[in-house]
């Protein structure tokens, strides 16, 4: 059994971008965009961070987030995680806390409030290494990453493993390491979650995107964070 597990682990590792060659999407950006992310006073996400801090300290339902939690340092580096056999991402955990502990309504996916609160929580882990282990849900996400889909019959891996660093429609293809979500994307002129970006890619290959919060998208998030294990969080990142 140990030999079989070692062989499986070796196969998994050799199928990914070698650890020494992994690069954040930050490395593929122009000087101006990097400068925007590096300076907290010009990073467009600062408005969401301010809203997130206000939400953190505001009593909703029975209590405020700050009533229970003094610090969230390191938390975002460990999400998504598996709970009772199901993947749970940071946005879902925030809503679980709201509904089960604060007795407050859940926040809608991609709403400004949920993005702001998620960014505020994740910002406290900026610079910390991503912690992601391998589990059954990660394996499901890996299968989805490698599966061809849509009318263009393309898999995520064909772009982000096989052709990273090349140009597609004038944009450099990154390695799909989700080190900075939620991000402010210049194309959107808005903040967005990793699931929004994944759905964009699915639409781009003319596939039917999974709904927000679906197990498939969370599994894919788990796998992508595993790929980025050990890399530092950049939240809130800025991307083209």
Concerning whether 201 is annotated as a catalytic residue, the answer is yes
Q: What's the rounded Cα separation, in Å, for the pair 134 and 226?
A: 7
Q: What's the rounded Cα separation, in Å, for the pair 235 and 182?
A: 7
Q: Mark out the alpha helices in 46-135 (DSSP H runs).
A: 46-57, 65-68, 90-97, 112-123
Which residues in 54-108 belong to E strands, given as ranges?
81-83, 86-88
The strand pairing partners of 190, in sequence order, are 185
Taken in order 48, 171, 149, 157, the sign of the CA dihedral is: negative
The catalytic residue among 65, 68, 156, 201 is 201
Q: Which one, of 118, 125, 128, lies nearest residue 56 by Cα? A: 118
Do residues 117 and 107 make contact, with C-beta atoms less than 8 angstroms apart?
yes
Do residues 160 and 220 make contact, with C-beta atoms less than 8 angstroms apart?
no
Strands lying side by side in the sheet with 183-185 = 190-192, 183-185, 238-239
Q: Is the peptide bond preceding residue 10 cis, with omega within 30 degrees of 0?
A: no
Residue 86 φ/ψ region, left for φ over 0, alpha for ψ in the -120 to 50 degree band, beta for the rest: beta
Q: Tell me which residues are annotated as active site.
A: 201
């Amino acid at each position: 059994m140990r030999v079989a597990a070692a062989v499986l682990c070796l196969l998994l590792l050799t199928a990914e971008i070698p650890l020494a060659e992994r690069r954040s999407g930050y490395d593929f950006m122009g000087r101006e965009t990097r400068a925007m992310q590096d300076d907290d006073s010009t990073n467009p996400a600062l408005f969401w961070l301010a809203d997130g801090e206000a939400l953190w300290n505001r009593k909703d339902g029975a209590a405020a987030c700050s009533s229970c939690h003094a610090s969230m340092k390191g938390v975002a580096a460990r999400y998504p995680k598996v709970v009772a056999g199901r993947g749970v991402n940071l946005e879902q955990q925030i809503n679980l806390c709201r509904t089960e502990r604060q007795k407050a309504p859940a926040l809608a996916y991609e709403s400004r409030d949920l993005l702001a609160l998620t960014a505020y929580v994740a910002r406290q882990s900026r610079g910390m290494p991503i912690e992601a282990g391998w589990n059954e849900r990660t394996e499901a996400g890996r299968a989805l990453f490698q599966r061809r889909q849509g009318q263009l019959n393309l898999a995520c891996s064909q772009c982000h493993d096989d052709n990273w660093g090349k140009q597609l429609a004038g944009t450099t293809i990154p390695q799909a390491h989700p080190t900075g979500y939620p991000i402010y994307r210049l194309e959107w002129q808005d903040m967005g979650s990793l699931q929004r970006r994944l759905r964009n890619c699915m639409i781009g290959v003319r596939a039917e995107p999974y709904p927000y919060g679906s197990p498939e998208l969370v599994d894919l998030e788990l796998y992508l964070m595993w790929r980025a294990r050990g890399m530092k969080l950049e939240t809130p990142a800025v991307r083209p």
